[in-house]
Structure 1
Amino acid sequence: MPNLRNFIVCAILSAYAITAQANEPPTVIPSLLITLNERLNIGDLVALTKWDSGKPIQDSPREAQVIDNARKLATERKLDPEDVAQLIAAQMEANKLVQYGLLAQWQAAGAAPDTPRPDLGKQIRPRLDELQARLLQQYADFTPYRQDPNCPMWLAKARTGLTRDALHDLALTRATGELCIRPLAP
């Protein structure tokens, strides 16, 4: 009997260890969320340029250009172009959320922060392009986990404490809102 009991205990412990390991988030998640958060923080700089120029936040031709470019990069990286278009569109929506929130704060205060303004075309957009390339690689690494039942929990835990305020937290939630997909019911 002691051997059977030992066998059962070992089987239970092994099953527990496998389950615990299966619930561990993929190692790509922290770096993916850091990249998304970095992209959102650039929204602060974009908002400053929009404040100074008086240009609208919504720039549909530029957004279409970015999404078309993302589709091409997706094809080169053997990713689904429509999934990548949706990912990039979500990032732009999250970024605009930051911009609208900041502009509203600055309008209420009567002024924007007195900080250096980088050039949108020469400094900010090249940085966004670099982040997009990194984001697509991390997304490719993350793609196998999108349908995992633990995906939403992994992202929620990884978002915790990553942002500096409620506006950026909400925007990061928007940026990650479509990363996980529910498996289709049989």
Structure 2
Amino acid sequence: MRTFLPVLLFTPLLLTGCTSTPSPDSELQRLLNSVDQRLDIAQAVALNKWDSGQPVQDLSREVQIITNVQAQAVRFGVDPRRAAIFFGDQIEANKLLQYSALSKWHAVGSAPGTHRVDLAMHLRPQLDRLQRSLLSELAAFDRNRPEDCQRTVAQAIGQRANDPQRALALVRATAHLCAVQ
């Protein structure tokens, strides 16, 4: 019986850990994973814009995205203004990577010969799916925001981004993440 006594004393402590809410770090990591996935699409979008001669900035499309996000936000438990600011940051971060890619390609006179993915048929639907994930993860992050939010976000970005360009894009994508609502 004496050998089971310590186990019985610590069992409630162990079980408490199993039922606790997710840590702010895990909520942040899930959100950053989706932000990263959205940023991964930037080069494919830039290739489409290179091929079509379209500019990176497409204000009518940006307004359409923000309007759509605001309409969906409440369903996910996110304030529409918060969603608009957050997605504005996502758009700006993505454009940063697109401008960078286009600049590199202009400098050498051509874009890479990689496979092109259709913007309307494949990339936009992928961005729309990510939009729902990002709204859900933003809501979860806001419910469980880290105490020292800016430091936590900066550290998380520092741990995941080895490329300076990507780190800058992540910083831009999270510019207002810790803003008080």
- TM-score w.r.t. structure 1 length? 0.80
Q: Residue 44 of structure 1: CA displacement? A: 0.8
How is 1:35-184 mapped onto 2 (pairs within 5 angstroms)?
35-146=34-145, 148-163=146-161, 165-181=163-179
- Inter-partner Cα distance in structure 2 for 1:134 and 1:149: 23
How far has the Cα of 1:161 moved from its partner? 4.1
Deviation at 1:158, TM superposition (A): 1.4
Q: Is contact 1:29-1:155 (8 Å) kept? A: yes
Unaligned residue ranges in structure 2 (runs of 5+): 1-22
1:177 CA drift (Å): 1.1
Cα distance in structure 2, aligned partners of 1:94 and 1:164: 17
- Residues 80/25 of structure 1: CA separation in 2 closer, same or farther (3 Å cut): closer
Q: Aligned partners of 1:177 and 1:89: how far apart in 2?
A: 10
Structure 2: distance between partners of 1:52 and 1:172: 26
Misfit runs of 4+, over 3 Å: none
3-state SS in 2 of match to 1:26: helix
Q: Distance in 2 between matches of 1:107 and 1:161?
A: 31
Say whether the 8 Å CA contact 2:24–2:141 is kept in structure 1: no
Equivalent in the alignment of 2:10: none
Q: State the Cα distance separating 1:30 from its structure 2 match.
A: 0.8
Measure the CA separation in 2 of the matches of 1:163 and 1:43: 16
Matches within 5 A, 1:7-22: none
Q: How far 1:169 moved relative to its partner?
A: 1.3
Q: Kindly state the Cα deviation for residue 76 of structure 1 after the two structures are TM-superposed.
A: 2.0
Q: Report if the CA contact (8 A) 1:37-1:162 is conserved.
A: no
Q: Deviations over 1:110-168 (max 9, x none)?
A: 1111100000000000000011100001000011345x541111111211242352222
Given that 1:57 and 1:99 are in contact with CA atoms closer than 8 Å, whether structure 2 keeps it comes out as yes
Q: Distance in 2 between matches of 1:56 and 1:164?
A: 28
1:28 and 1:138 in contact (8 A); partners too: yes
Q: State the distance in 1 between where 2:120 and 2:113 align.
A: 20
RMSD over aligned Cα atoms = 1.6
Quick one: which amino acid aligns to residue 38 of structure 1? Answer: Q
User: What SS class does the counterpart of residue 41 from structure 2 fall into?
Assistant: helix
Aligned residues: 159
Distance 1:140 1:41 in 2: 22
One-letter identity of the residue aligned with 1:53: S
Matched residue type, 2:160? L
State the distance in 2 between where 1:180 and 1:57 align. 27
